[in-house]
Amino acid sequence: MECYLEALGGLYPLWFSYWVINSVGGVFTVVIATLISILFERKSDYDPLAIFTALISIWVCILAVVIWQVVGVWRSANSYAARRLSIGQKARWAAIAKVAMSLGVVQLVATFLSSGLPELSEATRMAFMGDPDLPAYSLRIMRNGTEAEITGGIKYGLADDFSKLLKASQQIRVLHLNSIGGRIGEAEKLYNLVRERGLITYVHSQCLSACTIVFAGGKERYIAKDAVLGFHEPAFPGISQVELQSSVAEQTQIFRDAGFSADFVLRALKTPNSEMWKPKLAELVAANVITRVSAGTQFAASGLGDVTKENLGHKLTNAIPLLAEIRERLPQDYDAILDAFYKSYLAGDTEADAVAAARTKFLPLLNSLKPLADDDVLSDLARVYADEYQALGSKSSRFCYLYASGADTTQNFAAELPDTLTKREMELNERVVHTAARRTPVAAAALKPIWEKVSDLMSIQGITDSQVNLLNADNVPPSKYDDYCFASVSLFNVIGSLPQKDSAAIMRAILTANGND
């Protein structure tokens, strides 16, 4: 303390104050800052309050040392100048020392404004304001306590809450992730928890930035077909390049330990933080980032967060325009469909089960509306049916039979169809709902000549009477599935080729009969 006061009072010679005191002060600052960082890093295990305290301590230490250096050198320079002037000599070194110290203070202020202030500001928001730039997180237990979901921002407290959840629910085996990211320190804590428990990680919707660290911890890593993983380099306001590279190295090690390819990790962590690299499915598979793509049957439905029925409806209608059309024209039916999906979602059923629950309400409604659609819609529908049966038949005649005959209404065959066909059918279904209206039934006498024309055209295409009879059979043996599929494709191709009025009349008759079965 005495040495400090002597230096502060300018009692040392100028050369000693400038060279020795400054050097000792610089070394002292570095040592103290390093010790403070190590101390709080070991004690905090990523604690925003500890981070804030460490930063404040470091800058207070720097300020105290700088005051000691500047005041001491300044007073020593004044004493030196007074002595030189008393004997009629100039005091250039005093002026030079003052200029140098002034420039040092300016540089320190600039460093604080560019680095220290942003760091302290961010630490303040983390420690005292609940990290407001990150959305709140939520935890959800699903499927009889065997699966859990994390939704929202990865912020302080999440790892501790998830750890408590794991202790309370020892049977959890799968962790669903739905997050835009957050704090790397908290993500690393979650990563360690996932690794320790040997959990499977799964993403149905999106997992971005720091969330991918948690995802990497899974002993198996699944994503849904349309899920998004997003990568970029880490960042923190005011962080130095050395600190940034240290953080990149830590993340690199995590991803490499998870088995990600070196080229993938390099690209992921070289993507600027202001951007987001969202690799395609093939890239994720090739780089061993994911274990498998989920078909929606292995895990509980997730990715929507802790939603209310109203919010869920908003999300679904935005994603599925057909539902928006039903909500507009048939609000009671819409509510029944939404309610079925919502209850299944809350129960922790798989996505396939939730969709199936909604389909039990949706399909009867749609089938009742199809005969009431406009003529052009029904004519287009015939051509879509023909193309769908053809596509399914090329994969499996059994699929074609089950779908075309309606023998299995529980299975969703959309996954077996090309996306272009699924899109065409969805657009047609929207038109069905939009144009459905009361229609005058077509008389049997008027239908007879049209059916005769259809029969003649099918015969020209090589369809036999025995194959046609399969279309009306209550039960078709597997050995005849190929014939059934062939006849079905031919029937709807022929109907789609008729003049629109005739095509619509036949389709109305078929759809009405199917609806009454």
pLDDT in tens, 174-196: 999 999 999 998 999 999 999 99
- Residue 268 to residues 209, 271, 276, Cα–Cα distance (Å): 10, 6, 9
Listed residue (426, 504, 490) closest to 454, CA to CA: 490
Burial class (CB in 10 A: 0-12, 13-18, 19+), 158: buried
Q: Where are the domains of the chain?
A: 2-128, 138-294, 307-369, 373-516
Q: Assign 386 a pLDDT band (cuts: 50, 70, 90).
A: very high
Three-class secondary structure of residue 10 per DSSP: coil
CA 361 – CA 268 distance, rounded (Å): 44
Provide the token pair at 289: 């980032």
- CB contact at 8 A, 54 and 34: no
Give the bridge partners for 178, in sequence order. 151
Mean pLDDT of 508-513: 89
CB 126: neighbour CB atoms within 10 A? 22
Give the bridge partners for 221, in sequence order. 201
CA 185 – CA 309 distance, rounded (Å): 34
pLDDT in tens, 353-385: 888 899 899 989 999 999 999 999 999 999 999
CATH number of this structure's domain 138-294: 3.90.226.10
What DSSP line would sit under 454-517, residue for residue?
A: HHHHHHHTT--HHHHHHTT-S---GGGHHHHHHHHHHHHHHHHHS-HHHHHHHHHHHHHHHHH-
pLDDT at 43: 43
Q: Which of 51-55, 111-115, 335-339, 344-348 has the highest mean pLDDT?
A: 335-339
Q: Assign 32 a pLDDT band (cuts: 50, 70, 90).
A: low
Helix axes 184-197, 241-257, angle to 10 degrees: 20
| Residue whose pair of structure tokens reads 């309606």 in the numeric block | 406
CA 114 – CA 94 distance, rounded (Å): 30
Mean pLDDT of 400-416: 80
pTM to 2 decimal places: 0.72
pLDDT at 200: 97
Give the bridge partners for 512, in sequence order. none
pLDDT in tens, 289-299: 999 999 888 89
pLDDT at 409: 67
Q: Assign 33 a pLDDT band (cuts: 50, 70, 90).
A: low
The Cβ-side half-sphere exposure at 42, using a 13 Å CA radius, reads 5
CA 167 – CA 159 distance, rounded (Å): 12
DSSP tally for the chain: helices H, then strands E? 23, 8
pLDDT in tens, 304-341: 876 789 988 998 888 888 999 999 999 999 999 999 99
Element containing residue 203 per DSSP (H, E): strand 200-203
Q: Where are the beta strands (DSSP E) in 233-349?
A: 292-294
Q: What are phi and psi of 428, to 5 degrees?
A: -65, -40
What DSSP line would sit under 157-196, residue for residue?
A: THHHHHHHHHHH-TT--EEEEEB--B-HHHHHHHHHHHHH
Q: Assign 4 a pLDDT band (cuts: 50, 70, 90).
A: very low
Q: Determine the distance from the C-alpha atom of residue 81 to the mean position of all C-alpha atoms in its chain, rounded to a whole number.
A: 67
pLDDT above 70 covers what percent of the chain? Answer: 89
Provide the token pair at 233: 């380099």
